[in-house]
Amino acid sequence: MPRGKDKRPRVRTVRHFGVADRLALGYHAEMKRLLLDTDTKLRDVRLWLAVRDCDVTIGAICRYRQHLRAQRRNEEEIADEAEAAALRSAAFAHVARDGVTPDFLTASVLLCELIMLKSLIRLQSWPPVFEDPAILRRYCDAMDAVIDLREDFDRRSAARPALPLSEPPSEAGLSARHAAPLAPLPRLGRRGQPMIIESLPPDVRRRYERDVLRDPKTTAPAALRWLVGQGFPVSLSAVRRHRVRLEQFRAQSARDQTFAGATRDLAAAHGLSEIELAAGERLHAAHDLLDCLRETFRSLNASRDPAPAERIIALARALSAMLS
């Protein structure tokens, strides 16, 4: 039987451009300035490149300029998203510092119970339940998760009746968190499914990711030959999967670093301490979780089907983790 078409978006990891491949590295900065920051005509850029032993067509220069423009737009979008997220974090930190602590968790727990109750009512007339008993077992698991959530909430309320949601962590807790060593290498595989290349010795993996994969000209077969030469034979598909996941991790790391820098700048401008930022982050996370529950409730009201059991379980466990 023919295999179905994979609908997942393709992640490009190797991009070849004749301009970048043929031009000496010392001229790359000036070339990017000509293509992005000036109105230099492509014919003039081609002459400029030809003088520097880089003979390419105008079409190749045009494609490379489009690539550079798309790259700049992506960087600007990341910076805008990071700045907006940093502004939200600073706003929640201000709310926590001023003593205004809306209890989002109380509303979230009540809304989660309402979603579960309404889903159970709809199960009585939902045809898939009568066709597959496993569906009913999943909703029983969801009901158990919601019951555990209510017990955790009542236990927390009884143990800490006077403490607000956004109570800042202690100085000792912050010191311990910042003193903890960072993981030397990221885990790129899914939970419980580590990638084969993650099992390489740390020094070999660092050299592989730094010296081999950093070069955009390195193809998957070339990377495979390097690993085999180091005494670690793996499959070609393992090399490709790892490279795709590494590109995704690097993109997320770039976003995180931009967000961290914007948050530090805003904190310095508004005089926010790390304790206030941590309290604001906790308040922000509770607000985001309430938004997820509200969206689930709106989707539930817009259809005649019950809410997915897996989503109810995920939301209930996320709330329980926040209560602990």
Q: Quote the CA–CA distance of 141 and 321 in Å, as a whole number.
A: 17
> Is the model more confident about 115 or about 280?
115
Cβ atoms within 10 Å of 170's Cβ, excluding its own? 10
Q: How many residues in total does the chain contain?
A: 324
Residue 292 confidence (pLDDT) = 92
Backbone angles phi, psi at 190, to 5 degrees: -70, 165
What confidence tens digit (pLDDT) does each residue in 198-249 have?
888 888 888 888 888 887 678 888 888 999 998 888 888 888 888 888 888 8
Backbone angles phi, psi at 193, to 5 degrees: -130, 75
| Whole-number average pLDDT of the chain | 82
Check whether 275 has a pLDDT greater than 50.
yes
Q: What is the mean pLDDT of residues 6-27?
A: 72
Q: How confident is the model at residue 165 (pLDDT cuts 50, 70, 90)?
A: very low
Backbone angles phi, psi at 142, to 5 degrees: -65, -40
Instruction: Give the sign of the dihedral formed by CA 273, CA 274, CA 277, CA 283.
Output: negative
- The whole-model pTM stands at 0.57
Residue 309 confidence (pLDDT) = 92
Cα–Cα separations (whole angstroms), residue 174 to 86, 179, 285, 303: 20, 8, 18, 45
Cβ atoms within 10 Å of 9's Cβ, excluding its own? 6
Q: Which residue has the tokens 């000496």?
A: 24
Residue 194 confidence (pLDDT) = 66
Q: What is the mean pLDDT of residues 184-202?
A: 68
Q: In sequence order, what DSSP letters do the residues of 3-63 get, joined into one string?
A: PPPP-SPP-------HHHHHS-GGGHHHHHHHHHSS---HHHHHHHHHHTT----HHHHHH
Q: Which residue has the tokens 């490009």?
A: 12
Q: Quote the CA–CA distance of 254 and 79 in Å, as a whole number.
A: 10
Q: In sequence order, what DSSP letters do the residues of 64-90 get, joined into one string?
A: HHHHHHHHHHHHHHHHHHHHHHHHHHH
3-class state of residue 183 by DSSP:
coil
Q: How confident is the model at residue 44 (pLDDT cuts 50, 70, 90)?
A: very high
Q: Quote the CA–CA distance of 102 and 286 in Å, as a whole number.
A: 10
